[in-house]
Amino acid sequence: MDFELFERLAHDAMRSSHAIVAFVSCEVSYSGRAETFLERGDRILLVKPDRSVLIHQPSGSVPVNYMKGGSELSLERGEGRIVLHAAHKAERAWLDVSVFAVHGALSQRLEDAQRLDLAGNERDMSDWIRDNPRCIGEGFRPIAREEQTDVGFIDVFGHDGSGTLVVVECKRVTASLSAVDQLRRYVERVKRARGTQQVRGVLAAPAITPNALEMLASLGFAFCRVDPPKRLERWARDQKRLGEF
């Protein structure tokens, strides 16, 4: 595919809000939050109708360069190349993609009003703890979930029935030192705000690293093993793999 075809495709796609995908040989420069340069190679270029730009190398699931939606886009014809400029003034970011060859390109108008339905996040987990308080301790009584403080929100807040306040921090994956930091910050804030030293800290997660457990113990907090709930997990069970490549 030559430059003229690519240029016309890109122009038409931009005008009519199509998405563009292209296999190109290119080099890439970026300046914004950092400065990057990527020498010439074959990549996948993706331009969406919201004027976001993605550049993917042949390996890896993360784009090597990108611009968020809302960029100003322009094409410039150079010597033996065509340059896609993307400028995001609000973010003070610039991306230049110098395309030396176009191996193939497509554009398409896309219709999609759907939103992702997700189960098994941390909010589901704190919901579950609120509805199953016994997992935290025999007398645990939840008062609030996602209680706002000025240093962040407490996942589950309650008391143990004998007047002692309980702060629960949830993690849906193995808890690390930063989770203990977070819990400590909330407990200190509650102690100060309520004028009491009677505040227990509980870290609820499926697992915890040894260092985090040691720090937790040194602060007098408790670990409580809880797995994140996955409400839709039936569908993938016992699925059969047919037509293996």
Partner DNA sequence: GGGGAGAGATGCCGC
Partner DNA sequence: GCGGCATTTCTCCCC
Report how many residues bind a second copy under the rule CB under 8 A.
91
Q: Taking the complex as a whole, how short is the minimal distance between the CB of residue 160 and a second copy, in angstroms? A: 26
Q: Taking the complex as a whole, how short is the minimal distance between the CB of residue 137 and a second copy, in angstroms? A: 26
**Cα distances (Å, whole numbers) of residue 226 to 5, 133, 137, 173:** 57, 11, 12, 10
Tokens of 120: 């098994």
From CA 240, how far away is CA 125, in angstroms rounded?
30
Q: Which residues bind DNA (CB under 7 A)?
A: 30, 32-34, 36, 60-68, 90-91, 93, 95, 116, 118, 120-123, 146, 148, 150-153, 155, 169, 171-174, 176-178, 182, 185, 209-212
Does 161 engage in binding with a second copy (CB under 8 A)?
no
User: What sign for the dihedral angle of Cα 208, 213, 216, 221?
Assistant: positive
Spatial neighbors of 127 by CB under 8 A, at least 6 apart, are 145
Q: Which of 3, 56, 139, 164 binds a second copy (CB under 8 A)?
A: 56
Q: Taking the complex as a whole, how short is the minimal distance between the CB of residue 138 and DNA, in angstroms? A: 25
From CA 130, how far away is CA 128, in angstroms rounded?
5
Q: Which is nearer to DNA, 120 or 139 (CB)?
A: 120
Q: Which is nearer to DNA, 3 or 68 (CB)?
A: 68
Residues β-bridged to residue 200: 166
> Is-contact 41 60, C-beta < 8 A?
no
Q: Which of 87, 135, 213, 224 binds a second copy (CB under 8 A)?
A: 87
Amino acid, res. 56: H
Contact positions with a second copy (CB under 8 A) in 123-152: 150-152
Helix 177-194 to helix 210-218 angle, to the nearest 10 degrees?
Answer: 20
Residue 37 binds which of a second copy, DNA, none (CB < 5-8 A, kind-dependent) = a second copy
With 0-12 CB in 10 A as exposed, 13-18 as middle and 19+ as buried, what is 10? buried
Residue 174 binds which of a second copy, DNA, none (CB < 5-8 A, kind-dependent) = DNA
Residue 15 binds which of DNA, a second copy, none (CB < 5-8 A, kind-dependent) = a second copy
